[in-house]
């Protein structure tokens, strides 16, 4: 992983997994189109506007609520390169790492439609719209490996565990 740049989609504190992907959308065995329904109750139409490489920025406790992996999976399918938040709910954090969604714990000044760059090697988020930089703790090597391989199952398949 190196640097990712993307347009910001901004959310505040306590975004729960039912806001990310409503529970009633999880009744099918076909999970390939979860991204069609992300945030449909809190931001209707957003799913069609997100572009591959965009970055979701949030406040505290992102991903609180139920423990299903559908929420981080839907964010990957939508095209988000990573999620930057002040803090994450513990089970959401673990589920995200297990399926290869990069989470960055960092408070920023990023607003909707700003463009930010996330550099995992230097541990910096730079708001290219304001010029401000923010530091975050780098992931330990095992977490970096999980993300680079696309999740825990791929790490095991590749014999890297």
pLDDT tens-place string over residues 33-48? 889 999 999 999 999 9
> How confident is residue 158, by pLDDT bands cut at 50, 70 and 90?
confident
The torsion defined by the Cα of 43, 44, 48 and 49, in degrees rounded to 10, comes to -40
Of all residues in the chain, the percent with pLDDT exceeding 90 is 75
Please spell the DSSP secondary structure of the chain, one letter per residue. Answer: --EEEEEEEE--S--BHHHHS-GGGG-SS--TTGGGGTTTTTSTTHHHH--TT-EEEE-SSBTBS---THHHHHHHHHT-SEEEES-B-HHHHHHHHHHT--EEE------TT-EEEEETTTTEEEETTT--EEE-PPPPHHHHHHHHHTSHHHHHHTT--
How sure is the predictor about 1, in pLDDT bands with cuts at 50, 70 and 90?
A: low
For the record, the structure tokens of 53 come out as 């490489």
Q: Which domains does the chain have, with CATH numbers?
A: 3-157 (3.20.19.10)
pLDDT in tens, 54-97: 999 999 999 999 888 899 999 999 999 999 999 999 999 999 99
Using an 8 Å Cβ cutoff, are 59 and 11 in contact?
Answer: yes
102-127 in b/e form (b: 16+ CB < 10 A) is bbbebebebeeebebebbbeeebbbb
What pTM, to 2 d.p., does this model score?
A: 0.94
Region of residue 105 (phi > 0: left; psi between -120 and 50: alpha; otherwise: beta): beta
pLDDT at 58 (0 to 100): 98
> What span, in angstroms and rounded, lies between the C-alpha atoms of 88 and 11?
13
Q: Average pLDDT of the chain?
A: 93
């Amino acid at each position: 992983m190196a640097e990712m740049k993307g347009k910001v989609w901004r959310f505040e504190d306590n975004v729960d997994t039912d806001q990310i992907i409503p529970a009633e959308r999880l009744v099918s065995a076909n999970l390939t189109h979860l991204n069609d329904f992300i945030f449909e109750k809190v931001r209707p139409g957003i799913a069609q506007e997100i572009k591959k490489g965009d970055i979701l920025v949030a406040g505290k406790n992102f991903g609180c609520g139920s423990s299903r992996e559908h929420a981080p999976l839907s964010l990957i399918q939508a095209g988000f390169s990573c999620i930057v938040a002040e803090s994450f709910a513990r089970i959401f954090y673990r589920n995200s790492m297990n399926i290869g969604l990069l989470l960055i714990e960092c408070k920023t000044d990023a607003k909707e439609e700003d463009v930010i760059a996330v550099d995992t090697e230097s541990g910096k988020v730079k708001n290219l719209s304001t010029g401000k930089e923010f530091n975050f703790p780098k992931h330990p090597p095992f977490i970096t490996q999980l993300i680079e391989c696309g999740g825990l199952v791929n790490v095991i398949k590749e014999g890297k565990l």
